[in-house]
Amino acid sequence: GAVVSQHPSRVICKSGTSVKIECRSLDFQATTMFWYRQFPKQSLMLMATSNEGSKATYEQGVEKDKFLINHASLTLSTLTVTSAHPEDSSFYICSARDPNTEAFFGQGTRLTVV
């Protein structure tokens, strides 16, 4: 199957700093990428949908100014958590698809804000 690479897999940052997470589709062009957040022992919560070259569509309740999403190319989307706080600590997962495939998922990023 297609490969989606997410980086970093783990990151620890101080409160008030920003963290960038990258999601790359390695062997296909991802017209759409999705960003999810997952709390322990819970399901995936969709944060936003991004289409290449256009602004991301955020789900209700997700702060767009806090979770900045950029999808500048067909193989790369980034999620930046701005001014991170301990409550932003979570597992973030991206997925990518083109119109003809199902979504493939990255390995996830464990963010810990101290």
Partner 1 sequence: AQSVTQLGSHVSVSEGALVLLRCNYSSSVPPYLFWYVQYPNQGLQLLLKYTSAATLVKGINGFEAEFKKSETSFHLTKPSAHMSDAAEYFCAVRGNQGGKLIFGQGTELSVKP
Give one word for 9, left, alpha or beta, with left for phi > 0 and alpha for psi -120 to 50.
alpha
E strand map for 1-114: 4-7, 10-13, 19-25, 32-38, 44-51, 57-58, 67-73, 76-81, 90-97, 104-105, 109-113
Stretch that binds partner 1, among 11-19, 61-69, 75-83, 88-96 (CB under 8 A): 88-96
Stretch that binds partner 1, among 12-20, 62-70, 79-87, 90-98 (CB under 8 A): 90-98
Residue 8, preceding bond cis, omega within 30 degrees?
yes
**What is the x/- site pattern for partner 1, positions 47-86, by CB under 8 A?**
--x-------x-----------------------------
95 binds partner 1 (CB under 8 A): yes
Interface residues with partner 1 (CB under 8 A)? Answer: 1, 4, 6, 9, 32, 34, 41-44, 46, 49, 57, 91, 93, 95, 97, 99, 102-108, 110
